[in-house]
Structure 1
Amino acid sequence: MDEWSLKKRQEDKICALGLHSPGAQKIKAINSKRAELLREQKALAKGLRRSVGEDIIVQRSNVKAQQVAVKKSRQMFGSMDSHRKPIPSEETPEGLSQTLQTVLRVSQELESLQKEVQQLEKAEKVEQLKGAQVKVNTLNDWFGRYGEPKRQSQPVEMARSCVMKPRRLPFLGTSNAVTLRKGHLIK
């Protein structure tokens, strides 16, 4: 998580409650391991794509050479020469099968990490529900626990409702009536 996101989550009281919990730390560690495995899988996929591309080029030339050899063999005095180039992946000791096994291993590790993250998130949710039993009876209790809202009730803030200042009555001063202007969030 970058510094800006971390700062914003620490400032928000509700997000800060689950930011440094042990479950969140484990999930963060697993996600970093997953990111590393995904990078490894990406590198393997690039290498596999490159080697398969090389194999396809050689195989196409082999097919062309065999087609020419078949055509020559049908001629009356044609020679029976066939020029087959070895496929690059067959020449290497590991070959494509080893690369595919490595890709499958990485995929299985990613699946197991995903399952582990899901279990940790479930446990974290249960833990939060246990902690959610905190009784907050008044707005002051709520603001004490979770902090004041960023948008305050002011005449320039159109989203929140606002108690307007009393109207001025000509020759009498100000009115005793209180006017509540509804904000856009209530309408």
Structure 2
Amino acid sequence: MSNPKFSALQALNVAQEYINKRNNNYNHWTIDSDTNKSVQYYDKFFALTGGAWVVEVDFKDFEEFLVISDEEEVISFSILGIDRNKLPKIYTQLTIDRLLQISRIYNDEYQLEGVINSNSGESIAFYEKFEGVEGYSWIIDIKVPPSPFGGGDMISLVLSDEKECVEYMFDPSGYPVTPHLEDDDDEDEDD
């Protein structure tokens, strides 16, 4: 086992700072101050290069984990709806770098005009299961210009870890859409 750069207390502080920002809005997240219960170090962790600190956050009816890269000392992504005991057994096709690359290409190709949060880890979530996707899923939130038609200023790309692609996205109004399939439909009409 390699020696981590970060300590459990430092990882807890990064997570607490993140939560404090969110709690000012509307969330009521907490972390158990007993680091033996809430913080775990992994020498290797899926989707990352190097070690990771995983901090368990209590949020309403389910747990969320914040994954903090020991190399970069920032939140890399969050994990939702997975039992803590399953974490060491998860192996993904995609790395965080590859996820961001796929998202940027999709953003550019479909002219979404989006911007991924500069601390991209705050925009990335991992799910064991997500509707309409076989296998593991990743969600990337991207800030977009407000639409004159209403809705919010955020879209969410839903990526399949297995297929290594965007399956669909939620538009600013929260509706699932598939711009990449609409292009296929347009080509079929031209034939």
TM-score > 0.5 by shorter chain: no
Q: TM-score, normalised by structure 1?
A: 0.20
- Greater RCO (CA < 8 Å, at least 6 residues apart): 1
Between Structure 1 and Structure 2, the one with more helix by share is 1
Structure number with bigger Rg: 1
Q: TM-score, normalised by structure 2?
A: 0.19
Between Structure 1 and Structure 2, the one with more strand by share is 2
